[in-house]
């Protein structure tokens, strides 16, 4: 299905062999790849999740990746839209397709081979196949090296990833998420494996998970009377709470699975095993 998504998008080019010069990007990792391939000067707009490299934030914002504004996109007269899997909504995609603007969907990924495939897919859409192949090989090698080193940990720490702790309601990652993949790649073990995706945890479930470390995206750990998320009564009773072990990382850097993935894995590994 993912290969079909890409093939359909590429087939929509009105003139094969002509590289797109006015590109709208939707999806932080896709945007990073475009810039890593040296095509940032061809980007005319981006979605809200596209925040790296910093200069991309000066471009017009066409909305959140899953709630793109068709009017905003059309007003920029793009000759290509590059979007991560899940971009939309479907109604917006249909409007853009009726306007005969090529809409290329880049398949999602949560491992080294998948990230390399994303890079190659973006390269194919930009007519930069050779440069993309070289970058993909470099990224895949770097991720594999870091991951091999991280997997040598004798006693993996138990990591609880919280997507949100707003109002004391702890929304945690189970399996089959980008957070779960990053925890494992960095040499940790997910403290919650009883469900897939993200679900709220009861106090009893938090204490049963007994995390050694709580992992969150930057800016989401505040509250609880100034004590932060570790001041939550259930978390305070866990090893992470008792030892004050909270790790915060930029969301796109941690979960984007783009060109910076190898360094993100290395940084998370260092945070989980300080001095190791």
64 and 179 share a domain?
Answer: no
Half-sphere exposure of 71 (CA within 13 A, CB side): 0
Compute CA 58 distance to the chain's CA centroid, rounded to the nearest angstrom. Answer: 21
Side-chain half-sphere exposure of 61, counting CA atoms within 13 A: 12
Final residue of a domain: which of 81, 115, 146?
Answer: 146
For residues 191 and 104, state if they share a domain: no
Tell me: do 18 and 116 sit in the same domain: yes
CA distance 136 to 39: 16
Note whether 59 and 35 are same-domain residues.
yes
Whether residues 193 and 234 share a domain: the answer is yes
> Is the domain of 115 the same as that of 6?
yes
Tally of structural domains, the chain: 2
Q: Are residues 89 and 163 in the same domain?
A: no
151 falls within a domain: no
For residues 80 and 184, state if they share a domain. Answer: no
Determine how many CB atoms are found less than 10 A away from the CB of residue 123: 22
Count of beta carbons in the 10 Å neighbourhood of residue 62? 28
The answer as to whether 242 is a domain residue is yes
The pLDDT averaged over each successive group of 10 residues in the chain (276 residues) is 41 52 97 98 97 97 93 94 94 90 93 96 96 96 88 90 91 97 95 97 97 93 66 95 95 96 95 87
Assess if residue 152 is contained within a domain: no
DSSP string across the chain = -HHHHHHHHHHT-SSTT---SSEEEESHHHHHHHHHTT-GGGEEEE-TT---SGGGGGS-B---TTS--HHHHHTT--SEEEEETT-S-HHHHHHHHHTT--EEEEPP-SSHHHHHHHHHHHHHHHT-HHHHHHHHHHHHHHHHHHHHHHTT-SSPPEEEEEEE-GGG--EEE-BSSHHHHHHHHTT-EES--SSBSEEE--HHHHHHH--SEEEEETT----TTTT-GGGSHHHHTSHHHHHT-EEEE-HHHHH--STTHHHHHHHHHHHHSTT-
pLDDT of residue 222: 72
Question: Last residue of a domain, which of 146, 179, 206?
Answer: 146
Domain co-membership, 81 together with 103? yes
Any idea what the CATH number is for the domain that residue 50 is in?
A: 3.40.50.1980
The pLDDT score that the predictor gives to residue 207 is: 96
Note whether 122 and 30 are same-domain residues.
yes
Give pTM, 2 decimals.
Answer: 0.88
Rounded to a whole number of angstroms, the distance between the first and last alpha carbons of the chain is 41
251 and 190 within one domain? yes
Domain that holds residue 118: 2-146
Query: 146, 175, 196 — which closes off a domain?
Result: 146
Same domain, 189 and 256: yes
């Amino acid at each position: 299905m993912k290969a079909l998504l890409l093939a359909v998008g590429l087939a929509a080019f009105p003139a094969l062999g002509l590289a797109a010069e006015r590109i709208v990007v939707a999806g932080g990792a896709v945007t990073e790849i475009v810039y890593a391939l040296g095509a940032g000067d061809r980007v005319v707009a981006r979605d809200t999740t596209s925040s790296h490299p910093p200069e991309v934030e000066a471009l017009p914002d066409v909305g959140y990746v899953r709630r793109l504004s068709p009017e905003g996109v059309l007003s920029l007269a793009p000759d290509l839209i590059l979007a991560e899997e899940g971009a939309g909504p479907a109604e917006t995609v249909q409007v853009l397709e009726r306007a005969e603007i090529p809409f290329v969907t880049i398949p999602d990924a949560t491992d080294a081979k998948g990230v390399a495939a994303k890079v190659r897919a973006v390269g194919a859409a930009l007519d930069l196949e050779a440069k993309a192949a070289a970058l993909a090989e470099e990224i895949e090698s770097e991720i594999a090296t870091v991951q091999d080193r991280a997997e040598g940990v004798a006693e993996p720490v138990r990591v609880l990833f919280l997507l949100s702790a707003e109002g004391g309601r702890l929304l945690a990652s189970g399996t089959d998420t980008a957070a779960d993949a990053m925890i494992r790649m960095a040499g940790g073990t997910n403290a919650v494996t009883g469900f897939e995706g993200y679900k709220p945890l009861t106090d009893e479930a938090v204490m049963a998970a007994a995390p050694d470390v709580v992992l969150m995206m930057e800016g989401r750990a505040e509250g609880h009377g100034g004590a932060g998320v570790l001041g939550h009564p259930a978390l305070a009773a866990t090893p992470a709470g008792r030892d004050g072990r909270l790790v915060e990382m930029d969301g796109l850097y941690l979960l984007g699975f783009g060109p910076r993935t190898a360094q993100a894995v290395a940084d998370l590994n260092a945070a989980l095993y300080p001095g190791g």
